Structure 1
Amino acid sequence: MNKPTRPNLIITNGEQARALRKKLGQTQGEFWARASTSQSGGSRYESQGRGIPESVLILLHLSYGTAEEAGAMMAWLRQNQPRAMTSLTSTG
């Protein structure tokens, strides 16, 4: 049985992240905090072409995607990444 393909991410690089942040009128601190990323880390992703880790891209997708996009990603995570879901929902 083939695993379902991960939904396409709404952001795949720093340039796209910067464009969305500016469109939303947010500071770097506000925008990147929703992905558990510091302002300085977000700045490096936006301006230095530094690759954004998949986990951060997924958090951005969940934070800034439509309800339908976020729901599709959550369904994929539940089916394919159960350990990740456990760490996201644990109350340690």
Structure 2
Amino acid sequence: MSIKKITPALIVKIRKDLNMNQAEFWAEIGVTQSGGSRYESGRKMPPPTRKLFHLRFQLGLTEVQLKALASA
């Protein structure tokens, strides 16, 4: 799978494709709704958040898989 650049438009598309509101979507990677809203408006994500976003929403890892990676 190719890695797509994470843009505000891509973030919103992924969230809407998953039929999730901002609070639900961003909570999956430990980001508040207000923080997620800022990223969707163009604020740059810090590298750890970008990595979690990529693993969860672009590669499709589950919350359980992410926790397993974190404890490995």
Q: Same fold (TM over 0.5)?
A: yes
Amino acid at match of 1:89: S
Higher relative contact order (CA 8 A, sep 6+): 1
Structure number with bigger Rg:
1
RMSD: 2.4
Question: So what's the TM-score if we normalise by structure 1?
Answer: 0.57
Distance across 1 between alignment mates of 2:45 and 2:57: 16
Q: Identity percentage over the alignment?
A: 35
**C-alpha spacing 1:30/1:10, structure 2 compared with 1 (3 Å):** farther
**C-alpha spacing 1:20/1:64, structure 2 compared with 1 (3 Å):** same
Q: How many pairs does the alignment contain?
A: 65
Give the one of 21, 45, 52 matched to 1:52.
Answer: 45
Query: Structure 1 stretches of 5 or more lacking a match?
Result: 1-6, 71-84
Question: So what's the TM-score if we normalise by structure 2?
Answer: 0.71
